[in-house]
Amino acid sequence: MKRKLKIVPVFNTEDEERGFWGIHDTSEYFDYDKAEAVIFPNLKPSTRSISIRLPETLIEQLKMIANEKDVPYQSLIKIYLAEKIEQSIR
């Protein structure tokens, strides 16, 4: 027998919605058997600017490597950081 789903309330703020879903089971409000996969192609991860002091020689080395790889040096820094963090997590 199919169960009756509850109606999702209207929320005034994201905080209110976050609080609601923090204590309620979504399976009481949605039929996951009817769910469809969705792709959001234009979403980009949130970023935040930081300042970091690096020796000039290190920056120049990064710029040379980035030039060889044909990528901006800031992007190369992000790639290297992400790789090192991934290695450290494993």
Whether residue 39 lies inside any domain: the answer is: yes
Give ∠ CA 72-41-84 in degrees, rounded to 5: 45
The boundaries of the domain holding residue 44 are 14-89
Whether residue 9 lies inside any domain: the answer is: no
Whether residue 1 lies inside any domain: the answer is: no
Whether residue 3 lies inside any domain: the answer is: no
Tens place of pLDDT for every residue, the chain, 90 residues?
Answer: 577 999 999 999 999 999 999 999 999 999 988 889 888 888 888 888 999 999 999 999 999 999 999 999 999 999 999 999 999 998
What is the pTM (predicted TM-score) of this model?
0.52
Residue 32 to residue 24: CA distance in whole angstroms: 15
Number of domains making up the chain: 1
Whether residue 4 lies inside any domain: the answer is: no
Place of tokens 């009817």: 34
Whether residue 36 lies inside any domain: the answer is: yes
Whether residue 68 lies inside any domain: the answer is: yes
